[in-house]
Chain A
């Protein structure tokens, strides 16, 4: 560890011992969240999400393509994330590295496994033509917790996506068929303290990370542990509880922001 993070670690762990965080939040509190949709006019759907200073833009493009042979009547979705050099001095241009891949796959799983997009309604001609949904996540400003920002931006973008039927002479445009969204909440642990929605400084000294996506019935829809530290079972239970509580608030805000 270089010198700056060790000083930061001392500072943050001292604060934590007194039950405090650098920005004054409670351990289980999120930073302020802003959700804005309809940012990109060329995209079928788009959203910009800010969690504190972290800023993520997701754009949805749709096109017509061939279905996979084993699912001839379902639409296709792909998720990609780019950690572009714009967002941080530590991000480099070029093909996605493992961090970006993990990010994209965790967001993808949250959407795919919860069956958020009703892909069986995206068939145009079985075995020939289906709608393809491309979810592209751009990180604009990196101040920690990309997982939650990226997944929230993707949800908001998908929930406001219009299927471009007119462009392909398939009648009027219509909203992308969508079900209830699961909300993802990320916690990290350092020095035996577990905090929700880590800032960049907290992320830099984090030993272990856990992302939990929960739905409105308080069920668990996806989880991902990261980094080389470990959690106890008790800590995991607490993280799940905190994720459900925060998820509830974020879900309300998400619905409000898209006018539902």
Chain B
């Protein structure tokens, strides 16, 4: 997969971004009618829609936990979201991503309040361009707030990586394909706790530190966009009434 493509020129990346610059992110809360909470997010070329249902009774019953709610995130890529049509339905990759996102969200949701219930978080990737798991988790957090699910914090995710031996924030498509490391991280911005962390590629310990700093910076910026999206929805609702 590695190639000789030049990913860096005159201190700028292929898409003209600086090393520590995020792609453009827009978030809109409450976009769906049926869902308890929802969110639409665009992050560079990624387009992600999230719907939250619940808390509702977990079915089948053996999945229930008598002491707390379970959080079931389902990350799904639309067949048309990638260059070569993706076969519909869960594959191994999407099931793994669903699992790590569920675990990250479960950490901040006050699950003890809803014994035997499930909180379903459906993440649909409509258009994919690198970094969909971070986009999905970030959107899911907003949808959960929109659904009125009590949470300790609004989690946020973002990735850093290595291209042409430089550590950069928020890998784009070619950077993801031809770069040499990818480090997606989700944090709880209030406490700095790490909720999701994966890495593949090759990083020295110093590079890891640098990437981590960039991710924190990115997460804090995205966190502001999340809050703004939530405020916007509820302020406009107030005005409308």
Give me the interface of A with B, judged by CB distance under 8 Å.
Answer: 1, 71, 98, 101-102, 104-105, 109, 113-114, 210, 215, 217-233, 236, 240
Contact = CB atoms under 8 A, between A and B. Distances in A.
A98 B92 CA distance: 8
B82 to A, nearest CB: 12
B205 A231 contact: no
B203 interface: yes
Contacts of A221: 200-202
B194 A230 contact: yes
A222 B192 CA distance: 22
B100 interface: yes
Contact of B93 (A105, A114, A217): A105
A224 B184 CA distance: 10
A104 B92 CA distance: 9
A113 B198 CA distance: 13
A222 B98 CA distance: 19
B93 A230 contact: no
A228 B205 contact: no
Given A218-B205, A240-B205, A223 B93 contact: no
Interface string B180-194: 000100001001111
Contacts of B221: none
Contact of B194 (A217, A222, A231): A231
Given A98-B96, A102-B96, A225 B194 contact: yes
> What class of interface size applies to chain B in its complex with A?
20 to 34
B72 to A, nearest CB: 11
B201 A224 contact: no
Contacts of A230: 107, 188, 191, 193-195
8 contacts: A101-B99, A102-B100, A105-B96, A228-B104, A228-B106, A228-B107, A231-B193, A233-B212
A9 B192 CA distance: 26
Contact of B197 (A102, A105, A219, A231): A231
B199 interface: yes
Given A114-B202, A232-B192, A240-B205, A223 B92 contact: no
A227 B95 CA distance: 15
A218 to B, nearest CB: 7
Given A228-B106, A228-B107, A240-B208, A219 B193 contact: no
B194 A236 contact: yes
A109 B205 contact: no
A235 B137 CA distance: 23
Across the A-B interface, give the 8 residue pairs with the lowest CB-CB distance, nearest first: A230-B193, A223-B199, A225-B197, A228-B106, A113-B200, A228-B103, A231-B194, A220-B203
Given A218-B205, A240-B208, A224 B198 contact: yes
Given A114-B202, A227-B103, A228-B103, A101 B96 contact: yes
B198 A223 contact: yes
A223 B67 CA distance: 31
Nearest to A102: B96
B160 interface: no
Contacts of A232: 192-194
A66 B96 CA distance: 27
Contact of B95 (A98, A222, A236): A98
A151 B169 CA distance: 30
Contact of A220 (B67, B193, B199): B199
A71 B194 CA distance: 36
B222 to A, nearest CB: 18
Given A218-B204, A225-B196, 4 more contacts: A105-B92, A105-B96, A219-B203, A220-B208
A114 B201 CA distance: 7
A192 B118 CA distance: 28
Contacts of B107: 228-230
Contacts of B203: 219-220
Contact of B199 (A101, A222, A229): A222
Nearest to B106: A228
A109 B200 contact: yes
Contacts of A224: 100, 197-199
A229 B103 CA distance: 8
Given A219-B202, A220-B199, A226 B193 contact: no
